[in-house]
Amino acid sequence: MTEPLTDPVAAAPVAKSRSRRRRPSFEIVIPGTLLALIAAACLLAPILPGLPDPNLGVLNGGEGESRMGLFSPGHLLGTDALGRDLLSRSLHGGQLSIIVGLGSVAVGLLIGGTLGIVAGYAGGAVDTVVMRVLDVFLAFPSLVLALVVATYLGPSIPNLIIAIAFFAIPSYARIARAGALSVRERDFVLSARLTGARAGHILIRHVTPRVVGSLLTYGLLICGIAIITEASLSFLGLGISPPTPSWGSMMADGKTDLSTAPQIVLVPGLLLFLTVVSLNLLADGIRHRLDSEGSSR
Amino acid sequence: MTTTPPLLEVENLRVVFDGVLGSVTAVNDVSLSVDRGQTIAVVGESGSGKSVTARTIMGLSTPPGRIAEGSIRLAGRELVGLTDRQWRGVRGSQIAMVFQDPMRSLNPTMKVGTQIEEAIRLHTDLSKKQARARAVELLDAVRIAAPRRRVDEYPHQLSGGMRQRVMIALALSCGPELLIADEPTTALDVTTQQQILDLMGELQADMGMAVMLITHDIGIAASYTDTVFVMYAGQVVESAPTRRLFTDPRMPYTRALLDSIPSLDSPAHEPLPAIEGSPPDLAELSAGCSFSARCPRATQTCLTQRPALIEHEAGRAWACWHPVESKEAS
């Protein structure tokens, strides 16, 4: 009875995937760093030194003048039509984007993921009913409906989150269902059933961990889309009420001055662009990594 | 002998798979019984219905498969028609199962110890710490070296034989009365096969459980079991105490199977005897004996009438109109 302590055949692929995990990958590090910087700047905006109040302009006693250019004294990126500091407004507006982005992903992922996992694992009638209902939602033009929901519910952060999350639910559910379907047929799920495990236990311990990876990756992509949707709603005047800054409403305010003071649109626009591109690149990078690790198992 | 009822009694079990083009009877009128502490083998080629029988006993007949008739009794309790909730109390604690491929039957993302602990905690109210101690004991019982370290390892860190040991530990975690082993050694190499079978034999003796070994390897059945059931095309065609089945097969199919085993004293450079043809399509079974098309002894009767499995001698039954002559009688 002398079993070898480590089987070289079984050990080999492990060593490989470990070394891969430790090697820093530019696909993840670059967009990750960029995102971290943007997020840190936005979240720390209220306590950053030298940053004026975002809502202080010519009308309420701010010291800035209307439409100051880049690198003006006291206003690094200039001011908008009301003399409010663009950098400060952009960073404060970023907070809203982050909250709405993460919030809608969390809500959508939780609801959509749960529905998808349950539908996929249960199969049969449950699967059919849940998925067909979600298919109907998938067929709606999401921005138009988010518009309707936002108008109907009124502008507030939770309502924005709900309006945006609502239409991402079907996509999460589809991804979760696909994962659950493939795990359901695996022998280890069968063997868990054979030890007498409840469906709930199997869902939480065996199915969910296998689905969470792809859901989170997809969540990053959707986070970018959610931020764009929030900006679009704000641009159309259906986002958060002024004067609270938001990238979308800042761009809307600046669009009349585009020829004379393009920085009013460009500053929040560039931030929006960088944030969403980083999110997409990061999601891609993580998906690559998950794929290559998944194949070594 | 018949004073205590058998642990598992399967009677006239028929499992049907309903398809678009008609239904297929995968298990046809199968009866078998396992006594407490006994080891039986169910031997048959692919598609003979042995795995479907095993899965049905575990309550895993899911649509399109269904139990058309028959009963399955465990310690006198009818299992056919149990609800999911009732099944949970049976699976794991009374009947456990070991599968063919241990890599796929263990969750690759969970430590093996955790998987055993969870199985234990499903059926007992042990604390996490106690369950863990029990998991270490079980790993030790299945002869895994350094069990304290192994509990914290993942399935991919173990060898094939060790994984199958873990599966056995998992199956034994709640002290089942019956262990169904569905081709437990098919995915392992020959020396490991031997070790796993020896281990199962020892554990069985220690724990006093019954084992139902499903295999296509008649050699494994020969060395480890008390009784053998030979299945062909969804039916049990012969059952006998292991020794007598091997020395004195009566059903021509069994005989042909035994003849096709190579032995050390078979003449060199001569093709092994094989059974001509292939098993019948279960969707198009004839009215006669399912083996008749391949049977050298088949007559007109065999083609038109199906022989029933009849107990011709004490403890021995076969389904054949023209059984092979007994060597013992002559």
pTM for the structure as a whole: 0.73
Structure confidence by residue, pLDDT tens digits, A197-232: 888 888 888 888 888 888 988 998 889 988 998 888
Q: How far apart are CA B176 and CA B180, in angstroms?
A: 10
* Burial class, B155, CB count within 10 angstroms (exposed 0-12 / middle 13-18 / buried 19+): buried
What part of B 26-85 touches A (C-beta under 8 Å)?
A: 58, 60
Q: Using a CB–CB cutoff of 8 Å, tell me whether A81 touches chain B.
A: no
Q: Which two tokens stand for residue B18?
A: 């309903």
Question: Residue B99: which of A9, A14, A187 has the nearest Cβ?
Answer: A187
Q: How far from B115 is each of A58, B184, B315, CA to CA, in Å?
A: 66, 19, 41
User: pLDDT at position A273, please?
Assistant: 93
In a domain, A219, yes or no: yes
Q: How far from B219 is each of A126, B191, B215, CA to CA, in Å?
A: 46, 14, 9
In a domain, B108, yes or no: yes
Q: How far apart are CA B237 and CA B252, in angstroms?
A: 10
How many independent structural domains does chain A possess? 1
Q: Using a CB–CB cutoff of 8 Å, tell me whether B164 touches chain A.
A: no
Question: Residue B93: which of A11, A192, A196 has the nearest Cβ?
Answer: A196
User: pLDDT at position A176, please?
Assistant: 92
Q: Which two tokens stand for residue A90?
A: 């952009």
User: What is the least distance, in Å, from the CA of A110 to any CA of chain B?
Assistant: 22
User: pLDDT at position A274, please?
Assistant: 92
User: What is the least distance, in Å, from the CA of A196 to any CA of chain B?
Assistant: 4
User: pLDDT at position A11, please?
Assistant: 44
In a domain, A64, yes or no: no
Q: Residue A121: what are its φ and ψ, rounded to 5°?
A: -75, -40
Structure confidence by residue, pLDDT tens digits, A84-120: 888 888 888 888 888 989 999 999 999 999 999 999 9
The better pLDDT of the pair B198, A79 is held by: B198
User: pLDDT at position A275, please?
Assistant: 92
Contacts of A297 in chain B (CB under 8 A): 108, 156
User: pLDDT at position A14, please?
Assistant: 46
In a domain, A2, yes or no: no
Confidence of residue B272 (pLDDT cuts 50, 70, 90): confident
Structure confidence by residue, pLDDT tens digits, B51-104: 888 888 888 877 778 888 888 998 888 888 888 888 888 888 889 888 887 778
Range of the domain at B136: 8-232
Contacts of B156 in chain A (CB under 8 A): 10, 13-14, 297
User: pLDDT at position A13, please?
Assistant: 47
CB A205 to CB B118 under 8 A? yes
In a domain, B240, yes or no: no
Confidence of residue B305 (pLDDT cuts 50, 70, 90): confident
% of chain A exceeding 70 in pLDDT? 89
State which amino acid sits at residue B317.
Answer: A
State which amino acid sits at residue B64.
Answer: P
The better pLDDT of the pair B289, B283 is held by: B289
In a domain, A10, yes or no: no
User: pLDDT at position B329, please?
Assistant: 53
User: What is the least distance, in Å, from the CA of A182 to any CA of chain B?
Assistant: 13
Q: How far apart are CA A20 and CA A24, in angstroms?
A: 8
Contacts of B96 in chain A (CB under 8 A): 194-195
What part of A 182-221 touches B (C-beta under 8 Å)?
A: 186-188, 190-198, 201, 205-206, 209-210
What angle do the packed helices A263-295 and A208-235 form, to 10 degrees? 170
Tell me, letter by letter, the H, E, C secondary structure of chain A.
CCCCCCCHHHHHHHHHHHHHHHCCCHHHHHHHHHHHHHHHHHHHHHHCCCCCCCCCCHHHCCCCCCCCCCCECCECCCECCCCCEHHHHHHHHHHHHHHHHHHHHHHHHHHHHHHHHHHHHHCHHHHHHHHHHHHHHHHCCHHHHHHHHHHHHCCCHHHHHHHHHHCCHHHHHHHHHHHHHHHHCCHHHHHHHHCCCCHHHHHHHHHHHHHHHHHHHHHHHHHHHHHHHHHHHHHCCCCCCCCCCCHHHHHHHHHHHCCCCCHHHHHHHHHHHHHHHHHHHHHHHHHHHHHHHHHCC
Which residue of B lies nearest to A210 if distances are taken between CA atoms?
B109
In a domain, B186, yes or no: yes
CB A188 to CB B143 under 8 A? no
List, as one string, the DSSP characters of B10-46.
EEEEEEEEEETTEEEEEEEEEEEEE-TT-EEEEE--T
Which residue of B lies nearest to A188 if distances are taken between CA atoms?
B105
CB B101 to CB A187 under 8 A? yes
Task: Answer yes or no: are the C-beta atoms of B179 and B211 closer than 8 Å.
Answer: yes
Contacts of A15 in chain B (CB under 8 A): none
In a domain, B303, yes or no: no
Q: Which two tokens stand for residue A12?
A: 């080999």
State which amino acid sits at residue A261.
Answer: A
User: What is the least distance, in Å, from the CA of A17 to any CA of chain B?
Assistant: 12
Confidence of residue A10 (pLDDT cuts 50, 70, 90): very low
User: pLDDT at position A105, please?
Assistant: 92
Confidence of residue A1 (pLDDT cuts 50, 70, 90): very low
Q: Which two tokens stand for residue A38?
A: 């943007």
Residue B207 has pLDDT above 90, yes or no: no
In a domain, A201, yes or no: yes
For chain B, the average pLDDT equals 85
Contacts of B145 in chain A (CB under 8 A): 3, 5
Q: How far apart are CA B330 and CA B13, in angstroms?
A: 36
CATH assignment of the domain containing A149: 1.10.3720.10
Residue A181 has pLDDT above 60, yes or no: yes
Which residue of A lies nearest to B117 if distances are taken between CA atoms?
A195
Residue A21 has pLDDT above 60, yes or no: no
User: pLDDT at position B89, please?
Assistant: 83
User: pLDDT at position B212, please?
Assistant: 92
In a domain, A239, yes or no: yes
Which residue of B lies nearest to A2 if distances are taken between CA atoms?
B145
Q: Using a CB–CB cutoff of 8 Å, tell me whether A277 touches chain B.
A: no
CB A3 to CB B159 under 8 A? yes
In a domain, A18, yes or no: no
Range of the domain at A177: 84-295
Q: How many beta-carbon contacts under 8 Å exist across A and B?
A: 93
Mutate to test the interface with A, among B58, B109, B188, B198 (most CBs of A within 10 A): B109
User: pLDDT at position A255, please?
Assistant: 84
Structure confidence by residue, pLDDT tens digits, B99-143: 887 778 888 888 999 989 988 888 888 888 999 999 999 998 888
Q: Tokens 């796993």 — which residue?
A: B196
Question: Residue B107: which of A7, A14, A188 has the nearest Cβ?
Answer: A188
Q: Using a CB–CB cutoff of 8 Å, tell me whether B91 touches chain A.
A: yes
Q: What is the mean pLDDT of residues B259-273?
A: 77
In a domain, B211, yes or no: yes
Residue B330 has pLDDT above 50, yes or no: no
How many independent structural domains does chain B possess? 1
Contacts of A210 in chain B (CB under 8 A): 109
Q: What is the mean pLDDT of residues A32-42?
A: 89
Confidence of residue A293 (pLDDT cuts 50, 70, 90): low
Confidence of residue A295 (pLDDT cuts 50, 70, 90): low
Structure confidence by residue, pLDDT tens digits, A251-290: 888 888 888 888 888 888 999 999 999 999 998 888 888 7
User: pLDDT at position B136, please?
Assistant: 92
Handedness of CA B102, B37, B54, B137 (dihedral sign): negative
What part of B 194-233 touches A (C-beta under 8 Å)?
A: 195
Q: Using a CB–CB cutoff of 8 Å, tell me whether B192 touches chain A.
A: no
Task: Answer yes or no: are the C-beta atoms of B182 and B98 closer than 8 Å.
Answer: yes
CB B119 to CB A1 under 8 A? no
Confidence of residue A129 (pLDDT cuts 50, 70, 90): very high
In a domain, B131, yes or no: yes
Q: What is the mean pLDDT of residues A168-176?
A: 90
Contacts of A206 in chain B (CB under 8 A): 107, 110
ipTM of the complex model: 0.72
CATH assignment of the domain containing B13: 3.40.50.300
Q: How far apart are CA B59 and CA B81, in angstroms?
A: 9
